[in-house]
Structure 1
Amino acid sequence: MTHTPPADLLTRANHWREDISFTQNVLGKPFNFTTTWGIFSPEKLDDGSLMLLDYVDFQPNDNSIDLGCGYGVLGMTAARECPNGVHTLIDKDFMAVEYAKRNCQANSLNNVDVHLSNGFNHVADDKTFSLVMSNLPAKVGKEQHYLYLLDAYNRMEQGGRFYVVTINGLRQFMKRAFTEVFGNYKKVKQGKTYTISMAVKE
């Protein structure tokens, strides 16, 4: 006898295939987001990214890159807070990039460049950045984290800032890695779950 999934499960699955839309304030001003299941934190902005944004020193002329952008909140915020700069949003997940593009368009952010890239591997060679931001995932491995830091260092302008949010379990690793690559490290904020760290290209 052939098994058939329950009708209520099929109904719910049809609902899950639909886009998820929500509006959420970021730094006191609303953004409209469209997301989908399979992208990180699809129903609301994740606490780590929101915590990071509270501590970034945005400058009007910053050119930024959102490394592993997901559906776009870090890069979108930079585009809004730094209107004179150009803001690059990259991710290796094609669905994340698709939704980040849609979210930038929906929020009338035109000073952005959103595209697929595995780290910095597919970022134009002539691009440099004064601001790098990343919600670093814990599961990609420390080797990949070092590659992100080394590649960012090579692309950053003098005085450029690199901000990351990580789970607290990576705090000591980030201290060591930032110090090795940049020669400096600052713990900006530590909460119950996340730590904001930064380094400056001197």
Structure 2
Amino acid sequence: MPPVVPAALTDSNLSERHIRILDAAERVFAHAGFHAATMQDVAAEAGMSPGNLYRYFSSKDAIIAGMAERDRSLIAADFGSLHPGNGALLDQLEALARKHLIDPPREKAVIALQIWAEAARNPEMASMCADIDGTVMQGLAAAIAVAKANGELPARLDDNRFLLAVSMMADGYFCRRGMDPAFDEAFAAETLFAGMRQLAQTMLLPEAEETTP
């Protein structure tokens, strides 16, 4: 059986130096904030001269773009690994969500909040966020279609409302994690996944709207 999402979506082609810079920038932005941090701060954290840093990224916005594309590529790769032969797709989606929402350090959520705030006034940032959201929604939609076809999910599941609800729940989890250092991440994660599974069984289209194959 083919994977749920084509693996062709997954290439990132980042060099070791690019990875080192992006990792350093994440640490700097999480600690100092996107606006307060400077390219010199990123260069120092990456262990290189500012002049060398500018050979790879021309600005902080370019670094943010690199971070966003790296995240999008990693998400696409993980959706590309989903396969009905690997077990229940809801279990696979939960594992994927844990990897991207829960397992990374809290600083990842802090940076996401900064990027989302910047996207509210910066069209280029908004476009980067939309690209990541589009990759997530495409992967989820493909997984749901397979799960409906193999009987794991109800045939009458309202895909659009379910995808919207799950994305808002995940965004809310990330926001709370980034804002509240005392946030109970484990309990909230279990609540999130329980809600996702419940909605998958109950957020149904009216019977009159059910489409026939």
Q: Tell me if TM exceeds 0.5.
A: no
Higher helix share: 2
Bigger-Rg structure (1/2): 2
Higher strand share: 1
Give the structure-2-normalised TM-score.
0.23
